[in-house]
């Protein structure tokens, strides 16, 4: 699923700096929201009733239920320039191990940011690691 590769971040940042796509930051932000929804859905959908299970149910609704809201997956995929079919297929078929790799790539990228840019909270995720 090339739309969600971590290397896309660097491509979009570079393009934005060169003035190639003035909306690159918006696209990148929404792609990260999509990745987080997939992460929450895949990792927490099978656990007993907890806060994380609730997050998985919210993500499932957003990923798979049709909507006409401005922040619906349909509209966000248009803004982020990604194929909604590929997103939904990946969310349905991704394993927990695959999704965890996405999260680790992002965490490593954040750690490599200069301290001035990095938020101290960025190194902790929701399960306390």
Long-range contacts of 72-77 (CB under 8 A, 24+ apart): 73/34, 73/37, 76/30, 76/33, 76/34, 77/34
pTM (predicted TM-score): 0.67
Residue-number span of the structural domain to which 28 is assigned: 2-112
Q: Has residue 127 been placed in a domain?
A: no
Query: Is residue 39 a contact partner of residue 102, using CB atoms and an 8 Å limit?
Result: yes
Does residue 15 belong to any structural domain of this protein? yes
Is the confidence at residue 12, as pLDDT, over 90? no
Is residue 43 in a domain?
Answer: yes
- Flag whether 119 is in a domain: no
pLDDT in tens, 68-125: 899 999 999 998 889 999 999 999 999 999 888 877 666 565 555 445 444 444 444 4
Give domain status of residue 123, yes or no: no
pLDDT single digits (tens) 21-55: 677 788 888 888 999 999 999 999 998 878 899 99
pLDDT for the residue 54:
92
Q: How many independent structural domains does the chain possess? A: 1
Instruction: Please answer whether residues 91 and 34 qualify as being in contact, where contact means their C-beta atoms are separated by less than 8 angstroms.
Output: no
């Amino acid at each position: 699923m090339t739309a969600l590769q971590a290397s896309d971040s660097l491509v979009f940042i570079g393009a934005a700096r060169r003035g190639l796509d003035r909306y690159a930051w918006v696209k990148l932000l929404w792609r990260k929201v999509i990745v987080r929804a997939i992460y929450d859905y895949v990792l927490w959908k099978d656990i007993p009733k907890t806060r994380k299970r609730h997050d998985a149910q919210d993500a499932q609704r957003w990923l798979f239920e049709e909507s006409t809201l401005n922040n619906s997956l349909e509209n966000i995929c248009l803004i982020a320039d990604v194929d909604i079919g590929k997103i939904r297929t990946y969310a349905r078929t991704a394993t927990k191990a695959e999704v965890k790799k996405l999260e680790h790539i992002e965490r490593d990228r954040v750690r490599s940011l200069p301290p001035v840019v990095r938020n101290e909270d960025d190194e902790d995720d929701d399960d306390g690691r």
